[in-house]
A and B are shown apart, each in its own frame.
Chain A
Amino acid sequence: MSDATAAAASTPASAPPLAPAARSLRGYARWRWWEVALFAALPLSWLLLPSQALLLNEIAIVALFAISLDLVLGYAGVVSLGHAAFFGFGAYAAALFAKNVMPDPIVGLVVAIAASALLGLASSVLILRGSDLTRLMVTLGVASILYELANKLDWLTGGADGLQGVVMGPITVPFTALKGFDFDLTGRTAYAYTLVVLALFLFVARRLVHSPFGVSLQALRDNRLRAASIGLSVPLRLVAVYTFAGAVAGAAGGLLAQTTGFASLDVFDFHRSAEVLLVLVVGGTGYLYGGIFGAIVFKLLHDLIAAWTPQYWNFWLGLFLVVLVLVGRERFVRPWTWFRAGGKRTP
């Protein structure tokens, strides 16, 4: 918030006179140069790195998932250990829809998004009360319940074997003549598809967090009691953001299921919830793009270490987490402060 208000102060007032609050908000929502660069980098990565499309596709999906968690954690301050619930729900919804109803990817994705938004709406009542521990437990509990369900309902989900034989149809872009993009082995179509969805949701999420609604979310994150006493309805806002985050995570899960043609119990696993937390914390919470940077760092590290010691990659992941937290993220991303006296530069 502090840098945003500073940026707002330095913005010259635009032509029509605005109330100070509106001016502050408008300055806060201004497009920064690096945001433009980031959005431009997305299609460039498709053009320049055609051989890496499969890896990039994974990165983009993890990034979208982390953006969803950022809305919940970074903006609304809800610590969740079960965000994989929405991811997995979206993945299974998309896979089941493609298998049993129709193979069109875009319709399937919309169904997955709607299903996980409903799940978000239904489970948002669970996070309104209690302490951090209660919320951790409830979110973890929801993910575990869904894991058990997917495991036991094997006539529907394939149980522990996963849902196999999902065949996706070609992409047909609605309202245009563009049609017949098949998902191929190189993954370029899949990556383009994922990128479009990622950019779309990033744009919507950006609008959302820069709106008065987004600012009020940060107010209730910083001090719930104060936010409630200036007349914000805290529960309604939490329900709204949780539902939206559920939809975004469902989109990420749906994309995974559609581009890999497979959904397994792994999507509900605790591991996934923990990983997305790590991705987000590495990239930084509360500014929306943390998920993208975190996903890039995380996936590259994963590939690097897994190539070296595939079985014990988790150890290094754990070590990385411990060191990251002990050193502090602020210092970790600024290597030049490592050897200074501790606590001097940490705010």
Chain B
Amino acid sequence: MLTLLFDGIAYGMLLFILAVGLAVTLGLMNFINLAHGAFAMAGGYITVLLMNRAGVPFLACLPIAFVGTALLGAILERTLYRPMYARPHLDQVLFSIGLVFMAVTAVDYVVGSMQQNIHLPDWLQGRLPIEAVGIGKYRLFIVVVCALLTTLLQWVLSRTRFGSRLRASVDDPRVAGGLGLDVNRIFLLTFAVGSGLAGLGGALGAEVLGLDPTFPLKFMIYFLIVVSVGGTTTITGPLLAALLLGIADVAGKYYVPKLGAFIVYTLMVAILLWRPQGLFARASAR
């Protein structure tokens, strides 16, 4: 029971790290980016390929995955995404679906369509024997890393100058620009960090979530659930939504395996029917 809860929390934390970039993109630029999962997949594949082909140790792969996907995100933001900000939502949806299809097929072509396995270092395998609660070491590692990242994010957003600029741009990009903030640069940086976090999440999650070319399509709805249920105005909203989703999904798959993902989708539709702006959203200006 507690093991299940813990697994759910680890899963939820992972989903949060994966989706937090999407929450910022949506809240900041009002841009529906269905291709967010593609960045996570990029991070996962960077890790897998580095570990299996170049023999880089696991811990060294994580920062590389972060930086690599952040760079990729920055380049794509500069070249492709920027003209899309002012477009209607339909255009954004089509554009990002197109990106997803391209990413899925490109990875299929380059790496192959089979499931990729990560060989974890020995000290991360096995379980900690604590009082009848089996806690996977790797799960614990995920929770610790994600908790650290979340605290760091929260600190950056609420305490630093960059954080206050970002919040100003979220609240009203035009006024923020009028006050002399370089909103475009803030967008670029935020997008890069968001994609980087997704890449890191993908690298961490390759073991737990599985990694194959259809990853962006499979988990797209999960990321979107986190963001739409959690709301885009705070960082705690998506965090709570991710934890809820993680626990519900793990518990649902354990207790009623026949229903599968059915519970999660139904829960989401019910929550959105009840609170269309998300569970933890304050009244939005838009």
Spell out A's residues near B (CB within 8 Å): 73, 79, 81, 125-126, 129-134, 136-138, 140-142, 144-145, 148-149, 151-152, 270, 274, 277-278, 281, 311-312, 314-315, 317-322, 324-326
Contacts and interface: CB of A to CB of B under 8 A. Distances in A.
Contacts of A126: 269, 272-273
A324 B221 CA distance: 24
Given A131-B276, A325-B94, A145 B102 contact: no
B80 interface: yes
Nearest to A126: B273
Contact of B272 (A137, A144, A148, A152): A137
Given A126-B273, A129-B276, A141-B269, A136 B224 contact: yes
Contact of A145 (B97, B109, B227, B269): B269
Contacts of A130: 272, 276-277
A145 B262 contact: yes
A180 to B, nearest CB: 43
B93 interface: yes
Interface in B73-120: 80, 83-84, 87, 89-91, 93-95, 97-106, 108-109
Contacts of B188: none
A73 B101 contact: no
Contacts of A148: 259-262, 265
Interface of B: 26, 32, 80, 83-84, 87, 89-91, 93-95, 97-106, 108-109, 217, 221, 224-225, 227-228, 258-262, 265-266, 268-269, 272-273, 276-277, 286
A132 B268 CA distance: 16
B265 A145 contact: yes
Contact of A73 (B84, B90, B98, B227): B90
A318 B99 contact: yes
15 contacts: A126-B269, A126-B273, A137-B272, A148-B265, A152-B260, A311-B108, A312-B109, A314-B105, A315-B101, A315-B106, A317-B98, A318-B101, A322-B102, A325-B94, A326-B84
A170 B232 CA distance: 55
A151 B102 contact: no
Given A130-B276, A318-B99, A325-B98, A141 B268 contact: yes
A236 B237 CA distance: 33
A314 B90 contact: no
B258 to A, nearest CB: 6
B7 to A, nearest CB: 21
A144 B277 contact: no
A325 B105 contact: no
Contacts of B106: 315
Contact of A321 (B26, B101, B268): B101
A142 B100 CA distance: 21
Contact of B93 (A151, A277, A311, A322): A277
Contacts of B224: 133, 136-137, 140
A311 B261 CA distance: 28
B270 to A, nearest CB: 10
B261 A144 contact: yes
A79 B265 contact: no
Contacts of B109: 312, 315
B262 A152 contact: yes
A125, A137, A148, A152: most-surrounded residue (chain B CB, <10 A): A137
Contact of B95 (A81, A314, A321): A321
B95 A326 contact: yes
A134 B272 contact: yes
Contact of A315 (B102, B273, B277): B102
B272 A324 contact: no
A270 B32 contact: no
A324 B258 CA distance: 41
Contacts of A319: 98, 102
Contacts of B91: 325
B94 A324 contact: yes
B44 to A, nearest CB: 19
B101 A141 contact: no
Contacts of A79: 89-90, 93
A277 B105 CA distance: 20
Contacts of B32: 132-133, 136
B201 to A, nearest CB: 20
Contacts of A320: 98
Nearest to A149: B262
Given A137-B272, A148-B265, A278 B105 contact: no
A328 to B, nearest CB: 8
Nearest to B102: A318
Contacts of B269: 126, 138, 141-142, 145
Contacts of A321: 94-95, 97-98, 101
A-B residue pairs, 5 tightest by C-beta: A321-B98, A130-B276, A318-B101, A318-B102, A315-B105
